[in-house]
Amino acid sequence: MNRRQLLSMLASLSGSLGAASLLAACGLGAALPSKIPHVGYVDIGPQPVANLADHPFSKGLRDLGYLEGKTVVVDYRFANNDEQRLKGLVTELVTASVNVLVTAGSGGQALFVAKQATTTIPIVAASGGGDPVKEGWAVSLAHPGGNITGNYSQPLSMFTKRMEVLKQTVPGLRTVAVLWDSSVALQQGQFADTQQAARSLGIEVLSVEVRGPDDFDGAFRAAVAGQARGLVILGGAASSYRSQLASLANANHLASITAQRAWPAGGGLLAYGPNSDQQLRYAASYVDKIIKGAKPSDLPIEEPANFDFVINLQTAQALGLTISPAILAQATEVIQ
């Protein structure tokens, strides 16, 4: 009797002994269930919600019909803006041989670490930093060619929009200080794009490098000495040291902007960046395709479709700035 005949016979049997028990007795039960996909999720930032069932990535999986713990297993890891911890979390998930690794968080640090950790496990970037081709993790957007696909969060148009907003907000703006860390590979591309965007608008960029919070006071002194009136913060510093940096920016009368929507809520002036919730939900669709057999090398990398533009009017008032109705009309959120 072959396997198909045995299964047909068991399906027709009735009685107190179920089919699963009969199969187990025949030594066939373990082979019936397909392996549940194991997804690793790693984020440079803190856990955004108390209940992970409310996480946008989890919601995205549910929208596609997945039930966590039943039809898919997701191991979530959050580094709380600690880059050393991030490396350990990525290593942990790679060692566990997850079927797909999802990377998230502002700046693309998680993707950069994951890229170094594995060339075989499919990686889905929920937010992949700057241009994938320039940064070397894709041959092209249409055909990435490696083990990484997903979204990238910082197209050149975003850097240009930030500069446009600053120029419209600060009358006579000529110089913008850019707070960044040149030792971080991802920020090198971001700084180049910021320079290009500024030049297109006739704005001079003042490079202000920092390695950590001990450099902040000196960095702001340099910005003021260079007659900067605007401030762009690259990388994850605006998340890791939000309160400290916002206080320094405001005390030095610098109109500040970052990609992180939480920046204005912490006292900063402006934020312009991709809608992270949408990117996380969209990342779930990439995971679904890979689980069903698609190769990341063949899945096109997408630019963000929607952006958050957040304005803190209290900070604007404290800086003596008037936000025009035209700019307010573009905002997705205004903090009064």
**Is it the case that residue 3 has pLDDT exceeding 80?**
no
| Shared-domain flag, residues 90 and 193 | no
**Structural domain includes residue 96:** yes
| Shared-domain flag, residues 208 and 114 | no
| Mean pLDDT (the chain, rounded) | 87
Cβ proximity of 208 and 178 under 8 Å: yes
Q: Are strands 123-125 and 148-150 parallel, antiparallel or unpaired?
A: parallel
| Shared-domain flag, residues 188 and 213 | yes
Q: What is the pLDDT of residues 266-317, one digit of tens each?
A: 999 999 988 888 999 999 999 999 999 999 999 999 888 889 999 999 999 9
| Shared-domain flag, residues 194 and 323 | yes
| Shared-domain flag, residues 166 and 267 | yes
User: What total of structural domains would you count in the chain?
Assistant: 2
**Structural domain includes residue 16:** no
State the pLDDT at residue 34: 54
| Shared-domain flag, residues 97 and 192 | no
The secondary structure of the chain in percent helix, strand, coil, rounded to multiples of 5, reads: 45, 20, 35
Region 78-98: what's the mean pLDDT? Answer: 93
**Structural domain includes residue 312:** yes
Choose among 283, 304, 300, 302: nearest CA to 61. Answer: 283
| Shared-domain flag, residues 140 and 211 | no
Q: What is the DSSP letter of 253?
A: T
Which position has the higher pLDDT, 244 or 129? 244
CATH of residue 318's domain is 3.40.50.2300
**Cα-to-chain-centroid distance, residue 244:** 23
**Structural domain includes residue 33:** no
Residues 6+ apart with CB under 8 A from 2: none
Choose among 327, 205, 208: nearest CA to 269. Answer: 327
**Structural domain includes residue 52:** yes
Which position has the higher pLDDT, 33 or 157? 157
Residue range(s) defining the domain that contains residue 97: 38-154+275-305
Alpha helices in 83-211 (DSSP H): 83-95, 109-117, 132-135, 156-169, 185-200
Q: How many CA atoms lie within 13 A of 321 on its CB side?
A: 30
| Shared-domain flag, residues 131 and 147 | yes
Q: What is the pLDDT of residues 26-36, one digit of tens each?
A: 433 333 345 89
**Structural domain includes residue 167:** yes
**Structural domain includes residue 58:** yes
| Shared-domain flag, residues 112 and 199 | no
| Shared-domain flag, residues 103 and 211 | no
**Structural domain includes residue 61:** yes
Q: Sign of the CA dihedral 125, 131, 135, 137?
A: positive
| Shared-domain flag, residues 92 and 233 | no
DSSP-assigned beta bridge partners for residue 11: none
317-332 burial, b at 16+ Cβ within 10 Å, e below that, comes to eebebebeeebeeebe
Region 39-51: what's the mean pLDDT? Answer: 93
Q: How far apart, in whole angstroms, are the C-alpha atoms of residue 110 and residue 129?
A: 10
Question: In which residue are the tokens 């008037």 written?
Answer: 322
| Shared-domain flag, residues 72 and 168 | no
